[in-house]
Each structure stands twice: as C-alpha cells, then as structure tokens.
A and B are shown apart, each in its own frame.
Chain A
Amino acid sequence: MSQTEKLAAQTSSANGTTPLSTNPAAPLPPKPLTAKTLPDDEFFFGHKGCAGCGGALVVRQTLKVLGPHAICALPAGCMSAVGFNFPQLSFANNAMITPFAATASVLSGIEAGLRTQGIKPEDCTVVGFAGDGGTADIGLQALSGAIDRNDDILYICYDNEAYMNTGIQKSSLTPFGAKTTTTPAGAHVHGCLTRKKNMFQIVAAHDIPYAATASIGYLNDFIKKVQKAATIHGTRYIHVIAPCPTGWGTREDETIDLAKEVVDCGLWYLAEFEGSQLCGMPGGKFTVNRRPKEFSSVEAYLRRQGRFKQLDENDVQEVIRERDAAWAWLDDLAAGAK
C-alpha cells in the first residue's frame, strides 16, 4: 500500500465505509489458534535465556502465531542479549537488533522499506519485542511517534518489571515495593516507591488501532490477541506480563503459575482497546477480557517472591488499595464501552 493509499484507507475507515480490521488479501479469516493447535515449528530456539524465562516464551509463542514471514526487531534487552550471540543466532525469521530507544522507529523503517519496494509479503508482520524499560522508559518517544504515524507494525512489550538484562534495576514498570538493585530494600525504604506506568492507557490515548494487555499465564488469550493483531493494519501494541525467576526471586517452574496468579489477584489485567477507526466509536472501545469475581490473595502473590520479602503489612495494604483503584478505573472503562 502506498502512502497515499494508506491515508485513503485510514480516511475511508474513519467514515465507516471500509473496515480496516481485516487484511483484504487474506482469503479467509485465520482459524483461531490455541495452545493445542499452535504449530510445532520453532522460530526462536537455541538462545541463552535463563531457565523459566517468561520473555523467551513471549517471543517463541508470538512467532509461532505470526509464522516465517514475520520480521523481528529487538532493542538492547534480555531477548536480544540471549538470542543474537554470533555465531549462535536464534531467530529462524529475519531479525535485527536495534538501538535501545529505537525499536519502534526501526520497525517503521523496515515496514516502509518493504512496502515502498513492493516486496512485503501479505502475511508479513513487522514485529518488535522490547522489554519494560525499552518500552516505557527509553523507547516511549519512538513508540509514540510510530503510533502517531499509524505505521503498520506490531509492538510487543514483554514486561518482566525491571531492567533484568543488566542485573535487575528499576524501570518505570517496576511495581511498588519491588526490590531491585537500584531500589534496594532497607530499614528506610522498602524497595521501589513508584507505581507502574500505565502503558495500556498511554497507547490508547493515542487512539491506536489496537492495544491489548496479556499474560503468558493465559496463553490462549495471548495467542488470540497476537492473531487478532496480525490481521489489523496500523500500529498495534500488546503488553504481556512475563515473569522473570532471576529478577523476581522465584523458582524456574513457577513462571506460568505466577503469570496466572498476577491476573487472578487483580494486580494485572487482560484487556483490549480498539481505536475509533477500528470500532467506529469516538474515543475507541475498551474491553476487559477477564474480570475475576473474587480476587485471589494479593499477599500470597507477593509473599512467594523474593523481591517483595521486605514488605510490611502497611505496604501490602497499600498494594491492595491501588489494585482496587485500578479496577475501579477498569470497570468504568468497560462499562463506558457498553
């Protein structure tokens, strides 16, 4: 699609005449994939990720959904550090490393380069995998620029809640109370004092065509969102919680369980945003995919992780208060959308 056609498509879609939601060249809507029907093909293997790494699962499962024609870009971070060690290169797809702050802008360049040369396969998703720091801190400006241009890219943030690659330092997605090497827990301060930046709300405020939150503990939900994102043109953003045994102070075999529990106790949520062009509603539409009737214990979730060991009763109550406030916002959003 040329730039002019792209603009025309956006305009007509805003008028509600041409839905932007489906890939016009795809003959049939893709069959919904589940954990059971995912292809056996491996596109990310032989890497040096830690045992129990949540981020590696994000990349692996995403590429199984997107297939061999996806092109990946990864900034400095765990996944590039473990996947790009010459001569042990771990991507079966076309892939490249990017400057730390430049995930989104390199993705934009790849997409535009392929399109202007007329060599972009119909089933090619240009996808980035950046960590929480690479997304919410240093990469936020480039991401905002790409969404503003509505470049046809999929941006996946694998959120392990700190700069894990450099040895567990606080990012703006590190939750309140988490101990990191730059927010050490002592008698005076009990770990991280800031709250988790709300990336989902930030990208939705750009009226991005599609945004979602996910967890590798709810694999089918995540797969479904990746698959949906792959059929949408324009900028798409998926924010997926990916526990890190090394940084969280948990056992390797607890990763999936933790990724479930953080949703069940309400500290993370599974939601979607469809931009106004996609859903035809001014301001876009929010959907909460999973609303636990009763939350499981926040304290149990916190206490099983080394990084929260130092929290006292007041701290735990503070975390619960903030969870409830976040859910009041989410419930409002979901209600407003109906």
Chain B
Amino acid sequence: MKRFLSGDEALAEGVRLARPNIISAYPITPQTVVVERLSEMVEQGRLNAEYVHVESEHSALSCALGAAATGARTFTATSSQGLLYMAEVLSYAAGGRFPIVMMNANRALALPWNIYGDQRDSLALLDHGWIQLYVQDNQEALDAVLMAYALAEDERVSTPVMINLDGFALTHTYETVDIPETEQADSFLPPYRTKNKFDFKHPVNIGYSAGPEFNRYYKHAAHWDMVDALPVIDEVEKRFAEVFGREYPGALEEYRCADADRIIVTLGSVAGLVRQVVDDLRNKGEKVGMVRLRYMRPFPTERLVEALLGVGAGVVDGSCGADGSCGDGSGAVGGADGDAKGRVPVARSIAVLEKDISFGAEGTVFTNVSSALLQAITRKLPAGTCALRDICNFVGGLGGDDISYEQVQSIFSLLKQRAFIVEDPNAAHVEVSAEASNAASGAANATTYVNLLDPHKKVYFLGIDSLEEGGVR
C-alpha cells in the first residue's frame, strides 16, 4: 500500500510491522512524530506492544535493556542531546549483546542550542559498539527497521542497531512510501528467539563484571562479530529483496564510480543531492561519481577501498597490468572496457562530504575513509588500481545549514583543481598507466601525502571557506 509519509511516519510503520513487545521512549524533536504515531498504533490496537512512558532517554534505553534481557523485542527512538543522555546505556546494550533497535533523528548538539539536522550526535558515539546505519530516504527508513531487527537478532551478530535519519530533511519531509503487508513482514521477520535471556529453570546472571583477565575476550568477540556482520547485512538484504522486491546495495552504494576521476563520499539524505549533481555533470561529459556509506559500523573498509581505488580495475581481460602496457594518458585508458563492474583505472581525487566535525582534527567520516585508504596504499594492490591523487574533507550542513546544489558542484570542480596542485613535478602528469596505478605508493601518492599534511588544504567548511582553487580563508 502506497502512502505519502514523513520519514518519522514511515519509520513508525516499520516498527509496527516488526512487532516489538516493548517500546520505551522519551520525546525529543525531531524524533517526536515517531513516538506519537507508535502511541496511536498501540492505543488503536494496531500494534500489540507496551509503550513505557519513561521519564528520560537514559531510562528509555535502560528499560529496553531490562526487557531485552527477558527475550523481548524492544524499540526506542531519540535524537541529539537525548542520544548523548543515554550514551552510557549504549555500551551496556552493546556489551550485553542485546539486539535493541533504536531510531536516531540526526540533530545538532548544543551549544548553541539547535534542533536542526546534522550528524554530530551519532558519529560522536561510533565507538559504543552499536551498528550504525544511515538512510537516504523514507522508504529506506521503513525497510531499515525490518532489516535492522533481522540483522541485530541474527545470533552471529547479536548487536544493537541504530538507524539514523537526518533531522527534518528526512524526519519531516514527505515522500511516497510503499508499506508492506503484515504477512509479508511476518514472513521476513519471525519472532525473536534467543538464549541470551533470563531462564526460570536455569537462572542466569547476565551483565556482570569481568576483570582485566577476561575483559579483552569480550571486546575481541564484540569487534569481530561486528566485522563479520558485514556479510550478514548482504544476506539480510538479499532475503529482503526476495520477500519485498526492493534491493539494497549493502554497506555502501557505489554510484557511477567505475571510471570516475572524482568521487564524493557521503552519507544520509544529502546523497540524493550529490546524485543529482553527478548525473548533471555526467551529462556534460565529466567523470564524477558518488559513494554513499550506508553503514558506519561495521565500517565497510574493503568495499570502500574497492570502490574508491577501483582495486583490480581493468585486469579482468589482462589488457592492463604487469606488463605496464595499459593506459594512454588520456584518462580513458587501455582498460576502458573495464572489469566486470566496468571499472577502469584512473587517477582519482576524493572528497568526503559530511555533517560532522571532530574539533581539532577533521570530520569523523573523513578519518574513517582516510584510514581505509591509507591501509590500502601501504599494501601491494593489484595492477590496474586507481591512483589516489588527493583526498579532502568538506564539512557542511551543521545545525541544519543547507548544502546547496552549487556547493556540491563546487566540490567537484575543486577536486579537479586540487588534482593539479602537486609539488612533485613527476606527479604533475599523472599518467594513468600501470606505473602510476601500481604505484599507489608512487608519485601520485606522494602528492596526496603533501596535501594531507596541510590542514588548511584538508578541511573545508561549506559556506565559510572559499571553494576556489587553493583558497581557504
């Protein structure tokens, strides 16, 4: 059934279909509509859950924690300061391996007090052991709830999931959303079954303390189980597509990246805008693309490297590689036919566009992306790998600030300019050749390194810093 719904309303429909036993939540803008709709559904009998009117976010998640320990399916929702207020409990939920699903409406953090969207709230809590998903539209918000429970409750994963919706841009914006039938949802998401719960026949102590001699084993397991959740995400999405006919691209989405010389990496609703700019520039013959990170935890390091460096691009047909014969310097190179995904080796500049800043450092998404790339270029990559010319960080949308079409255009044109800001003359003409490509640690990368070391060339604040060539302040 198609309906015209806000992101909050779509998400609430997803929760209804997931049939939680317990909903414990505390209102905060712009999450409020979620809890209003859920309260109505409970009152109307459309949702057979108990809505616990807790007196704070800390209690909201704590109540979900207690309920999860009885084997109940639980849901909570929050935003911004509320998320930080319950932050302590996030580590209890993750450490106890309770598959709680939470919606977070991404919103700015005080001070200055601000109710509008940015992603500083959830990104500040990446290290708390929760799976973090960022959706781009309202249909994905609804679908994400069902998939989040399937993922969280998979016994290989047993980890709580936070579904992030951009405040107002998604939570309060209306789109046509297809609401699945209850029977479909039930066939996709069976009732929660777990051994990680109280047992009256064989009582258990759960959530205890563990000293240094044991603690590392818990943390080690939590880390690797989260890493190993990546293929489970794909499994869940495959099953979802079979039941509902909608496909999702896993932990990240590559959009027109195969032969792109410039790529914007971003997350959340702004991906829609970037996609539009990519299409328009492509129509003008520019080779641009986008990577949309859907999951920040587990972080899809390998897939990101593959997407950004086109790892192994063009080697499939053997036309490009060890003999150094591929590439004519035009950018549309010997491997232009590309690999199975149409990838061709080019020299690339990459921008990370995010609604976050880790003060005194850089955007947190940028840190994560940079780390993945650094790890990649320090190992021997296959022939035909794209050379990395440059990577820089664009911070925008803070406190609900608009990220404009023109700004995204400017990011792409700045990437083009920055690609020629090189200090090593040998790298000035980055031939897209096997040498250049192979040399992820070669000349082109030496250039990249120079840029990375210059903070004024690294982090750009949209709406403040000039996006003209070389221009920051």
Answer whether A and B are interacting partners: yes
Which residues of A approach B to under 8 Å, CB–CB? Answer: 3, 68-69, 71, 73, 80-81, 84-87, 89-99, 101-102, 104-117, 119, 121, 124, 141-142, 144-145, 148-149
Q: Does the CB pair A110–B69 fall under 8 Å?
A: yes
Q: Does the CB pair B70–A110 fall under 8 Å?
A: yes
User: Does B280 reach chain A (CB closer than 8 Å)?
Assistant: no
Q: Does the CB pair A96–B21 fall under 8 Å?
A: no
Q: Does the CB pair A97–B207 fall under 8 Å?
A: yes
User: Does B203 reach chain A (CB closer than 8 Å)?
Assistant: yes
Q: Which residues of B contact A105 (CB under 8 A)?
A: 24, 54, 58-60, 62-63, 66
Question: How many angstroms between the C-alpha atoms of A112 and B54 in the bound complex?
Answer: 12
Please give me the 4 A-B residue pairs with the lowest Cβ-Cβ distance, nearest first: A109-B66, A145-B55, A113-B67, A113-B70
Not counting A69-B200, A94-B205, A99-B92, a sample of 8 additional A-B residue pairs whose C-beta atoms are within 8 angstroms of each other reads A86-B209, A89-B205, A104-B59, A105-B24, A108-B52, A112-B67, A113-B22, A117-B71
Question: How many angstroms between the C-alpha atoms of A110 and B65 in the bound complex?
Answer: 8
- Are A106 and B62 also in contact (CB < 8 A) when A116-B49, A144-B55 are? yes
Q: Does the CB pair B67–A148 fall under 8 Å?
A: no
Q: Does the CB pair A97–B209 fall under 8 Å?
A: yes
Q: Which residues of A contact B206 (CB under 8 A)?
A: 94-96
User: Does B72 reach chain A (CB closer than 8 Å)?
Assistant: yes
User: Does B110 reach chain A (CB closer than 8 Å)?
Assistant: no
Q: Does the CB pair A94–B199 fall under 8 Å?
A: yes
Q: Does the CB pair A91–B21 fall under 8 Å?
A: no
Question: How many angstroms between the C-alpha atoms of A93 and B200 in the bound complex?
Answer: 8
Q: Which residues of B contact A91 (CB under 8 A)?
A: 203, 205
Q: Does the CB pair A84–B205 fall under 8 Å?
A: yes
Q: Does the CB pair B21–A95 fall under 8 Å?
A: no
Q: Which residues of A contact B22 (CB under 8 A)?
A: 109, 112-113, 116
In-complex Cβ contact of B66 among A90, A108, A119, A149 (8 A) = A108
Give 16 CB contacts A-B under 8 Å: A3-B50, A69-B200, A91-B203, A93-B203, A96-B198, A99-B62, A105-B58, A109-B22, A109-B52, A109-B65, A110-B69, A113-B66, A116-B22, A116-B49, A116-B50, A119-B71
Q: Which residues of B contact A148 (CB under 8 A)?
A: 55
**Chain A, Cβ-Cβ closest to B203:** A94
Within the complex, the shortest CB–CB distance from B277 to chain A, in Å, comes to 45
Within the complex, the shortest CB–CB distance from A104 to chain B, in Å, comes to 8
Q: Does the CB pair B200–A94 fall under 8 Å?
A: yes
Q: Does the CB pair A99–B88 fall under 8 Å?
A: yes
Interface residue tally for chain B (C-beta within 8 Å)? 43
Q: Which residues of A contact B204 (CB under 8 A)?
A: 94
Q: Does the CB pair A97–B208 fall under 8 Å?
A: yes
- Are A114 and B59 also in contact (CB < 8 A) when A91-B203, A96-B206 are? no
**Chain A, Cβ-Cβ closest to B60:** A105
- Are A112 and B52 also in contact (CB < 8 A) when A86-B209, A94-B204, A97-B208 are? yes
Q: Which residues of B contact A73 (CB under 8 A)?
A: 66
Question: How many angstroms between the C-alpha atoms of A193 and B71 in the bound complex?
Answer: 46
Q: Which residues of A contact B59 (CB under 8 A)?
A: 102, 104-105, 108, 141-142, 145
Q: Does the CB pair B210–A86 fall under 8 Å?
A: yes
Within the complex, the shortest CB–CB distance from A128 to chain B, in Å, comes to 10
Question: How many angstroms between the C-alpha atoms of A66 and B55 in the bound complex?
Answer: 28
Q: Which residues of B contact A85 (CB under 8 A)?
A: 208-209, 211
Question: How many angstroms between the C-alpha atoms of A97 and B69 in the bound complex?
Answer: 11
Question: How many angstroms between the C-alpha atoms of A94 and B208 in the bound complex?
Answer: 12
**Chain A, Cβ-Cβ closest to B92:** A99
User: Does B373 reach chain A (CB closer than 8 Å)?
Assistant: no
Question: How many angstroms between the C-alpha atoms of A225 and B63 in the bound complex?
Answer: 26
User: Does B64 reach chain A (CB closer than 8 Å)?
Assistant: yes
- Are A112 and B50 also in contact (CB < 8 A) when A99-B88, A117-B70 are? yes
Q: How many A-B residue pairs have CB under 8 A?
A: 160
**Chain B, Cβ-Cβ closest to A145:** B55
User: Does B56 reach chain A (CB closer than 8 Å)?
Assistant: yes
In-complex Cβ contact of B21 among A69, A106, A116 (8 A) = A116
Q: Which residues of B contact A97 (CB under 8 A)?
A: 207-209
Question: How many angstroms between the C-alpha atoms of A106 and B69 in the bound complex?
Answer: 9
Q: Which residues of A contact B49 (CB under 8 A)?
A: 116
Question: How many angstroms between the C-alpha atoms of A315 and B206 in the bound complex?
Answer: 46
> B11-26: which residues lie under 8 A (CB-CB) from chain A?
21-22, 24
- Are A96 and B205 also in contact (CB < 8 A) when A109-B65, A117-B72, A121-B200 are? yes
**Chain B, Cβ-Cβ closest to A124:** B200
Within the complex, the shortest CB–CB distance from A195 to chain B, in Å, comes to 26
Q: Does the CB pair A81–B209 fall under 8 Å?
A: yes
Question: How many angstroms between the C-alpha atoms of A148 and B54 in the bound complex?
Answer: 9
Q: Which of B52, B62, B92 has the most CB of A within 10 A?
A: B62
Q: Which residues of B contact A71 (CB under 8 A)?
A: 198
Q: Which residues of B contact A3 (CB under 8 A)?
A: 50-51
Within the complex, the shortest CB–CB distance from B265 to chain A, in Å, comes to 35
Question: How many angstroms between the C-alpha atoms of A99 and B211 in the bound complex?
Answer: 17
- Are A117 and B62 also in contact (CB < 8 A) when A81-B209, A99-B92, A105-B54 are? no
Q: Does the CB pair B72–A113 fall under 8 Å?
A: yes
Q: Which residues of B contact A84 (CB under 8 A)?
A: 205, 207-209
Q: Which of A71, A114, A149 has the most CB of B within 10 A?
A: A114
Q: Does the CB pair A96–B207 fall under 8 Å?
A: yes
Question: How many angstroms between the C-alpha atoms of A282 and B68 in the bound complex?
Answer: 37
Q: Does the CB pair B55–A117 fall under 8 Å?
A: no
Q: Which residues of B contact A69 (CB under 8 A)?
A: 200
Question: How many angstroms between the C-alpha atoms of A279 and B58 in the bound complex?
Answer: 33
Within the complex, the shortest CB–CB distance from B370 to chain A, in Å, comes to 34
> B61-102: which residues lie under 8 A (CB-CB) from chain A?
62-72, 74, 88-89, 92, 96
Q: Does the CB pair A106–B205 fall under 8 Å?
A: no
Q: Which residues of A contact B198 (CB under 8 A)?
A: 71, 94, 96, 110, 114
Q: Does the CB pair B65–A92 fall under 8 Å?
A: no
Within the complex, the shortest CB–CB distance from B197 to chain A, in Å, comes to 9
Q: Does the CB pair B66–A141 fall under 8 Å?
A: no
- A-contact 0/1 string along B20-62, CB 8 Å cutoff: 0110100000000000000000000000011111111011101
User: Does B214 reach chain A (CB closer than 8 Å)?
Assistant: yes
Question: How many angstroms between the C-alpha atoms of A81 and B200 in the bound complex?
Answer: 24
In-complex Cβ contact of A106 among B53, B63, B203, B209 (8 A) = B63
**Chain B, Cβ-Cβ closest to A115:** B50
Q: Does the CB pair B52–A89 fall under 8 Å?
A: no
In-complex Cβ contact of B53 among A96, A115, A149 (8 A) = A149
Within the complex, the shortest CB–CB distance from B107 to chain A, in Å, comes to 23
Q: Does the CB pair B70–A99 fall under 8 Å?
A: no
Question: How many angstroms between the C-alpha atoms of A111 and B24 in the bound complex?
Answer: 13
Q: Which residues of B contact A145 (CB under 8 A)?
A: 53-56, 59
Within the complex, the shortest CB–CB distance from B94 to chain A, in Å, comes to 13
Q: Does the CB pair B52–A117 fall under 8 Å?
A: no
Q: Does the CB pair B72–A116 fall under 8 Å?
A: yes
Q: Does the CB pair B58–A99 fall under 8 Å?
A: yes
Q: Which residues of A contact B24 (CB under 8 A)?
A: 105, 108-109
Q: Does the CB pair B68–A141 fall under 8 Å?
A: no
